Chain A
């Protein structure tokens, strides 16, 4: 592998930060600090810094928490390593991408939640956020607010794909434009 070519490719795509592999909270935190430093130097709009940071944290913690739940359910370690998070810049926008293997059983539900969020305007997203904030949390689950939070910060509907992996599983890829 030619690292220079890889680096050129990343740069060509506008990628500021990319992490591929299994990650724990320490890495989420370190990358978050790096993102924030970059943005504070490159970006004067404080709201843009917070929006990008917030979407990155929610996306990365979603991937991480999902990996944890799959690990607890006995998923093979190799699949859990296939996590990726990317922060890129394109013109006046920032893009946060997050990818991971998801169980077939979760694909339809995830797709329908994202499709529903894509149809809502900002006021409807706020109402849904508040409704979810007031809902009792299921034991062991998160607040259920992460995707709604990302949708609220996004400037376009969140785009997603499911790509079949060599082992026949679904690789979920989410892109949020800020």
Chain B
């Protein structure tokens, strides 16, 4: 399975999905013209990863701002991981944010409220 790597743009995050290590990273801001189009191949890739191998999957997320259609797509991504976790897979989410960014923290907490998988919110010095 190929890795999925995309450079960041003004309105899309850097994507680094590694099929060998099972680490999927997203970093930056996300408010593309069509978030559903942007996230569709990412979701398909993660589905493929979960089907292709049994190992642990770790999401390393550092998204600081998401528009609402990106929120919906990232929720879909977390739902996929949550379903895998409930199916017995080792899955964890680490979501980093700058510690003085209260709004980012609230957004991340609202995501965490929606899932049962291990979900760590990691403040970092701004």
Instruction: Identify the A interface with B (CB < 8 A).
Output: 25, 28-29, 32-33, 46-47, 50-51, 53-54, 57-58, 61, 126, 130, 133, 137, 142-143, 145-146, 148-149
Contact = CB atoms under 8 A, between A and B. Distances in A.
A16 to B, nearest CB: 19
Interface of B: 10-11, 31-33, 35-36, 65, 67-69, 71-72, 75, 98, 100-104, 110, 113-114
26 contacts: A25-B33, A28-B33, A32-B11, A32-B31, A33-B10, A46-B101, A46-B102, A47-B101, A47-B102, A47-B103, A51-B103, A61-B67, A61-B69, A126-B110, A130-B113, A133-B71, A133-B72, A133-B75, A133-B114, A137-B72, A143-B68, A143-B69, A143-B71, A145-B69, A145-B72, A146-B68
Instruction: Enumerate the 10 nearest inter-chain pairs by beta-carbon distance, A residue then B residue, closest first.
Output: A145-B68, A25-B33, A143-B72, A50-B103, A143-B69, A47-B103, A47-B102, A143-B68, A149-B68, A29-B10
Contacts of A137: 36, 72
Contact of A50 (B33, B104, B113, B114): B104
Contacts of A133: 71-72, 75, 114
Contacts of B32: 25
A74 B115 CA distance: 42
B126 to A, nearest CB: 8
A151 to B, nearest CB: 12
B72 A50 contact: no
Nearest to B79: A134
A54 B65 contact: yes
Contacts of B72: 133, 137, 143, 145
A29 B68 contact: no
Given A50-B103, A142-B69, 7 more contacts: A46-B98, A137-B36, A137-B72, A143-B69, A145-B68, A145-B71, A145-B72
A38 B104 CA distance: 20
Contacts of B104: 50
Most buried by A among B35, B67, B71: B67
Of A28, A47, A148, which is in contact with the most chain B CB atoms at under 10 Å from its CB? A47
Contacts of A143: 35, 68-69, 71-72
B110 A61 contact: no
B75 to A, nearest CB: 6
Contact of B68 (A50, A58, A130): A58
